[in-house]
Structure 1
Amino acid sequence: MNEGAEFLPPRLIVGLGNPGRKYVETRHNVGFMVIDQMATESTLQFADEKRWKSQIAKDSDRFLLKPQTYMNDSGLAVGKVSSFYKIQADQILIIYDDLDLDFGQLRIRGQGSAGGHNGVRSIISHLGTQNFPRLRVGIGRKEGESSNHVLGNFSTEERSILEKSIKEAVLAVTLISDQGISAAMTRFNVSRETRKRKSRGPESSTESKGKAESSVE
């Protein structure tokens, strides 16, 4: 799918994570957290579907999916569900964590490589294509083993940002569904600081003049 092409609303929205109580609050489970928030806002309940190794909820004409394999085998569930319901790849939206984005930052793309994410790599393998949209939620990168970071719990400071980021991710999914991926990219593929500046409106003439003078020095 080309990011500028006509976009069909997603019929299958997948949050990636690891099943089990020990992983519930880990950074690698941000995808699950976004899907859970979507279900909460839509008053949906997940049902266990062992044949698809998944938890799945039906929302009008779309499905919310949480694979219950471990992260590295996420494609197994996505492949089975999309095949059963005859959902094409460009109508599958994948939501997952990204080490290379600042904590809480969102990034939307219409297609692309796995970028080192094993869950996405598995999905590409099972679907036979990388042409599906994805919403990445930044978890930041720390020095040391990346596996320790992604499987670690959120810090107190991170938790203060997390709730807002999850709600923004839900808004991003809504915008993708209602207006298409290009509109969502335009709104959300910027830093949090840039969005804050835009929300404050244009700078005063004095501020603009001051910045212009500073840039000349």
Structure 2
Amino acid sequence: MKLIVGLGNPGIEYQFTPHNAGFLAVDRIADDCGVMLSNRRGRALTAKAKLAGQDVLLAKPETFMNLSGLSVAALVRELELERPSEDVIVLYDELAFPLGTLRINERGSANGHNGVKSVSGALGTEEWLRIRIGVGKPALEDGREIKAGGKDYLLSPMRKQELAVLDEVLDRAKNAVEVVLTKGVGAAMNEFNRRASDPDDGTSGTAKK
């Protein structure tokens, strides 16, 4: 079984904030699979599903972002997953990438993202598959970047126009997970990391809090 985790903060006030892109991605997968994340286990809301012909456990930690690793580690132990680098897929927000983009990486440092820091600390390794969902402000027409404002921006509700862009990315994130499951990480990276609209990859450029 594969463990697919979305990072975010529980609570209705955080539901449609940039920081909850991971939660929203897992919700999208659950919706498409016809299941609801309502079973509590490993300090998370979970649901068993069949995705791309494989058994998966979808999970949204209830520990808040900075303690996400406690939940991920508990589920890894419960499921007896011996190779987190192969059996765990984590989806989360990426402030370094503009909204509308995503990036798949097999490893990387936290660099300020408290959820990533917690997961790596709890698993004892930075080698776990991550799908990073861009939530940063797009550059201006003259190429200048807009600094998003860090924590305040990440925890503020997204506007209708931003949610419309994110909606398409959530479908792409689901498709990326399916390709990982059916064709492998390399094929998924080739397909989803090579988009003209994406910035150059900087695996160290994770969201700052």
Q: TM-score, normalised by structure 1?
A: 0.80
SS in 2 for 1:108: strand
Of 115, 120, 124, the match for 1:119: 115
SS in 2 for 1:113: coil
Residue matched to 2:132: 136
Give the residue type in structure 2 aligned to 1:34: A
Q: What CA RMSD, in Å, does the superposition of the two structures yield over aligned residues?
A: 1.6
SS in 1 for 2:93: strand
Question: Using the alignment, how far apart are the partners of 1:191 and 1:170 within structure 2?
Answer: 17
SS in 1 for 2:97: coil
Q: Does residue 28 of the first structure (1) align with residue 24 of the second (2)?
A: no
Of 73, 81, 104, the match for 1:79: 73
Question: Using the alignment, how far apart are the partners of 1:129 and 1:108 within structure 2?
Answer: 17
Identity %: 36
Question: Using the alignment, how far apart are the partners of 2:59 and 2:105 within structure 1?
Answer: 19
* Shift of residue 172, structure 1, vs aligned partner: 0.6
Of 162, 170, 181, the match for 1:177: 181
Structure 2 counterparts to residues 62-73 of structure 1, below 5 A: 62-73=56-67
Question: Using the alignment, how far apart are the partners of 1:19 and 1:175 within structure 2?
Answer: 28
- Report if aligned partners of 1:56, 1:64 keep a CA contact under 8 Å in 2: yes
Structure 2 counterparts to residues 44-123 of structure 1, below 5 A: 44-49=35-40, 52-60=42-50, 61-87=55-81, 88-90=83-85, 91-123=87-119
Q: Which runs of 5+ in 2 are unaligned?
A: 138-145, 199-209
Residue matched to 2:10: 19
- Report if aligned partners of 1:172, 1:184 keep a CA contact under 8 Å in 2: yes
Give the residue type in structure 2 aligned to 1:45: M
Residue matched to 1:160: 164
Q: TM-score, normalised by structure 2?
A: 0.83
Question: Using the alignment, how far apart are the partners of 1:75 and 1:125 within structure 2?
Answer: 7
Q: Which runs of 5+ in 1 are unaligned?
A: 1-9, 195-217
- Report if aligned partners of 1:105, 1:192 keep a CA contact under 8 Å in 2: no
Question: Using the alignment, how far apart are the partners of 1:192 and 1:160 within structure 2?
Answer: 20
- Report if aligned partners of 1:27, 1:139 keep a CA contact under 8 Å in 2: yes
Question: Using the alignment, how far apart are the partners of 2:43 and 2:148 within structure 1?
Answer: 32
**Range with bigger deviation, 85-94 or 69-78:** 85-94
* Shift of residue 192, structure 1, vs aligned partner: 5.5
Give aligned pairs, total.
184
